[in-house]
Amino acid sequence: MKAQFNATSIELAAGDITLETTDAIVNAANEHLAGGAGVDEAIHRAGGPAIMAECRKIGGCPTGQAVITTGGWLAARYVIHTVGPIYQGGAKGEAGLLSSAYTNSLTLTATKGLQSIAFPAISCGIYGYPVHEAAHLALAACIEFARKNNGIKLIRHVLFDQRTFNIFEQEFKKLV
């Protein structure tokens, strides 16, 4: 499924984000940029040690912010590491932090002059964010960014499992 917002196409895809050929892919990292499980582990494994070397130099990333490193061996030239919130019931500012993780990743993409970016479902795994709510926030943040900014041609949400893909599709249909 895809939809156009000004100069930006926003689309959903199923699969493994490490195979994406967008200019940048986004990592769902932790504040220490220390690596972990889930998509973080998959990206470091596929991209090789140059990514962790840059993460160590950067040192960390607060929740809701984003930093950029090389893509190493990946087809994508860059990895944008963002940190989504750990879901703690919804009253700890999680929604604002999740939206910021998307918006700050997109701002970094545009600032670098990159034209395409792929996101995983940030916070929807180990960090436990309810997927319907996270999908709504993710897509709404990307649509708002696309309506206000012209630099990015493609924003792709790459969903790893069928359930997450289906929920993103339901939420996308409500927003388009």
| Positions that interact with ligand AR6 (CB under 6 A) | 16-18, 28-30, 36-40, 42, 84, 120-127, 158, 160-161, 164
Whichever of 24 and 124 has its CB closer to ligand AR6, that residue is: 124
Least Å distance, CB 147 to ligand AR6, is: 26
Whichever of 11 and 151 has its CB closer to ligand AR6, that residue is: 11
Active site residue 23: no
Among residues 16, 23, 40, 161, the one annotated as catalytic is 40
Whichever of 29 and 106 has its CB closer to ligand AR6, that residue is: 29
**Residue ranges with strand state E in 34-129:** 66-70, 78-82, 116-119
Least Å distance, CB 42 to ligand AR6, is: 4
Give the length of the chain. Answer: 176
Q: How many CB atoms are located within 10 Å of the residue 57 CB?
A: 9
Of 75, 89, 103, 95, the C-alpha closest to 135 is 95
Least Å distance, CB 113 to ligand AR6, is: 25
* Phi/psi of residue 76, nearest 5 degrees: -65, 135
Q: In what order do the strands lie in the sheet with 2-5?
A: 2-5, 8-14, 154-159, 116-119, 24-28, 78-82, 66-70
> Active-site residue numbers?
40
